[in-house]
Amino acid sequence: MTNNKHVLTWLDEMVALVKPDKVVWIDGSEEQLKALRDEALSTGEMEALNQEELPGCLLHRTKKNDVARVEGRTYICTKNRDDAAPINNWMETSEMKAKLTPMYDGVMKGRTMYVIPYCMGPIGSPFSKVGVELTDSIYVVLNMDIMTRMGQKALDQLGDSNDFVRGLHSKADVDEENRYIVQFPEENTIWSINSAYGGNVLLGKKCFALRIASYQGFKEGWMAEHMLILGIEAPNGETSYITAAFPSACGKTNLAMLIPPEVYAQQGYKVWTVGDDIAWMHIGEDGRLYAINPEAGFFGVAPGTNAKSNYNALASTKKNTIFTNVAHNLDNNTVWWEGLDKNPPVNAVEWTGNKVNGPEYAAQGGKLAHPNSRFTAPAINCPCLSKEFDNPNGVPVTAMVFGGRRAKTAPLVYQSFDWNHGVYVGSAMASETTAAATGAVGVVRRDPMAMRPFCGYNMGDYFSHWLDMGKKLGDKAPKIFNVNWFRTDDEGHFIWPGFGDNMRVLMWILNRCEGKVDAVETAIGYLPKAEDIDVTGLEGEGVTVDTVKDLLTVDSALWLEDCKGVHELYDQIGERVPAELKKQLADLEARLAK
């Protein structure tokens, strides 16, 4: 399939190490993929679902010890500790290889090695990057077909270049004591062993598209960010694009696939999804920032996804989708998860494979689907997929948004004073833990730019890279905002309705970018005038202009308390935190103290 000597030399080295019985190149053809699907069905690794209701859809279960990303087993390995630490787990490159090489030695004896060439980003785009993943898992091959542009076309994109990410994965024995997901950013290499769960083994996703790519962007002058990309099309046909970063459980996918509320839909506004998770951003020929989505599919959390919370995500799963660790409804051979509807199937197989009476099992506190159960769905299924999805040049970014889950501190929305202040706002990002996540509710977890688990190099250098990008962009830089959909009243109820109504806030953001509305200068940034957030149609929810005023209040004492957490974060990151961000923090404290 290729004469690329860099690919072939590395492949020979890896084959000699893992010693597979057979090596199969994945060309991406439907004929080859059908044979692999049939093989997975014959061995029981996958189950075919109701082909009338869910054509092309498959069900898969992982082992009970292998159901999520494992941050504690995820390493960034560099020659010098300070180039990866201190937020990341670190081990020196040669030391980690010495540790893992014996585990890989002969690990694929009796197995087939699949060679998966894949492209992150549109084929033909100057901003796309190629990877090759070697794996002993058919599940990985079938998921990578959905999540990436896979096969011969990726090798054609690579040509003779040595600029490809080398990925080695073996499920081995799925032994959690010896599970490692390791990035070697200085060598463009990823090693993953003893996991078969998507987030640890689909090496194009977080491993390449964020951890390795963030380092590539740092070295090459672009950005790889944990951000959705959405377009808002005005009635005149012009579309403005927003990227947004949120920690987990903050409604990122829901925002990416937002359905406009009636007040905007009637005027002819539309929302288009470019990406739900990752944005690669480059400076275009016109000096503006352009974003592509490196992925070709959605790897979404199933529980909580339903026709009301996210109609477009649910619609995306209706064909050619792989469901992992959800419940199996035996009566109609479809799938079910908590939050899909209120009717757990009576004749069910829960996610670990046990046959149960669904309603009885749920009544006893059992979960039919694992809380981190997933769907891998082709982006092309999404009803609101942007026509710019495959644009090789990407889409121009008008605004960047940061957000988190804060009960009292952050207002509904505010704008940073300028780019550098916006970088500070992103660096200080935090979310409060919920009852679902842990016993201690309201604990603040700092997650700069929502990149804490995904930054492939020193976080201080990462902040510096953001500041440098601002210098290059100058007055063409996107405006930076912060949002908080999660303010609560004294009884703990959310005040803002969220979901599609978040578009009301996005419209204020775009109006600010276009100079259509004024704002109020405060200690933390520019706040909206309450009447500039359109609440038409929210009367039934009890949301008025006065509600918005309440959502925009800033408590200086709470903010000063919050600044202590930012100091702690900066102290933890250490001496590579840019002086500019320390100055931004000091300036904020001075303004608040006034």
d(CA 474, CA 288): 9
Which positions ≥6 away from 518 have C-beta within 8 Å? 529, 532
Torsion from C-alpha of 521, 523, 528, 530, nearest 10 degrees? -110
d(CA 242, CA 255): 11
d(CA 405, CA 443): 11
What is the DSSP secondary-structure string of 341-401?
Answer: BS---SSEE-TTS-EE-HHHHHHTT--SS-TT-EEEEEGGG-TTB-TTTT-TT-EEEEEEE
Which member of 207, 250, 382, 455 is catalytic? 250
Q: How many CB atoms lie within 10 A of CB 176?
A: 14
Please confirm whether the linkage preceding 260 is cis (ω < 30° from 0): no
Strand partners, 281: 223, 291
DSSP at 185: G
**How far, in whole angstroms, is CA 369 from its chain's centroid?**
21
Both tokens of 295, joined, read 């992925």
Q: 3-state DSSP call for residue 48?
A: strand
In the annotation, is 250 catalytic?
A: yes
Catalytic residue list: 250
